[in-house]
């Protein structure tokens, strides 16, 4: 994120109260997801994942000013200033990480190409990420993650859900998937293919794990 005068959106963000710890946790989680998505987008030359990284960068750019404003309002004396300083520095480091992750994604978006040695090194990862959306005829629609047991059944973990422009990262078993949700998940090659088919309605039953 740039803090210069050319970034007009930054200077038009309005303050609203929010816990500093909550915002910091959210930007940390977003940046971790960005790194995973960025490397996966390079490895699989996946434009959709690269686009998601850039959108996540925009979300962090929206949250960072709110974090700074709320942190500033919490400072009443020098002790508060000393307590807030590490938080601001941590947030700044997270912001730099998110910028670098977005830079990696733009390699894919701009079709620059990646050295084969880098792709080979990334290919040793045991898991990969996928981005898909819930269609109107998907069996995942209106089901909670607890009901679906995706990790147990197909070895896939839902990392994030984007619903009407809002990202949900703190997802538990009670989280219910809805039509048009964009989901980002991590798992094995087979698992993410099955998840994509389930989300798009091409698979009508959730595969069960094989009993050995």
- For 9-47, the DSSP string reads TGGGPPP----HHHHHHHHHHHHHHHHHHHHHHHHTT-H
The pTM score is 0.73
Q: Do residues 183 and 196 touch, judged by C-beta distance below 8 A?
A: no
**Which CATH fold topology does 10-109 show?**
Methane Monooxygenase Hydroxylase; Chain G, domain 1 (1.20.58)
Q: Where in the chain is the domain with CATH 3.30.70.1450?
A: 126-200
pLDDT in tens, 28-72: 999 999 998 898 888 778 888 899 899 999 999 999 999 999 999
pLDDT in tens, 170-189: 789 999 999 999 998 989 88
pLDDT in tens, 109-167: 998 876 676 666 655 666 778 889 999 999 999 999 999 999 999 999 998 898 987 88
Question: Which one of 3.30.70.1450, 1.10.275.10, 3.20.20.70, 2.170.120.30 gives the CATH number of domain 126-200?
Answer: 3.30.70.1450
């Amino acid at each position: 994120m740039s803090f210069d005068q050319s970034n007009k959106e930054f200077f038009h963000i309005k303050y609203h109260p929010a816990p500093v710890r909550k915002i910091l946790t959210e930007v940390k989680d977003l940046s971790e997801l960005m790194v995973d998505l960025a490397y996966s987008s390079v490895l699989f030359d996946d434009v959709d994942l690269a686009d998601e990284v850039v959108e996540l960068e925009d979300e962090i750019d929206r949250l960072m000013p709110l974090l700074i404003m709320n942190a500033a309002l919490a400072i009443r004396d020098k002790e508060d200033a000393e307590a807030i300083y590490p938080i601001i520095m941590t947030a700044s480091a997270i912001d730099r990480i998110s910028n670098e992750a977005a830079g990696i994604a733009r390699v894919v978006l701009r079709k620059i190409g990646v050295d084969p040695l880098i792709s080979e090194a990334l290919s040793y990862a045991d898991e990969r990420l996928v981005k898909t959306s819930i269609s109107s005829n998907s069996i995942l629609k209106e089901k909670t993650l607890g009901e679906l047991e995706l990790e147990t059944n197909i070895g896939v973990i839902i990392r994030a859900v984007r619903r009407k422009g809002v990202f949900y990262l703190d997802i538990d078993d009670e989280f219910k998937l809805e039509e048009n949700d964009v989901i980002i998940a991590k798992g094995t090659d087979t698992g993410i293919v099955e998840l994509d088919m389930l989300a798009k309605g091409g698979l009508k039953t959730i595969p069960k794990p094989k009993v050995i």
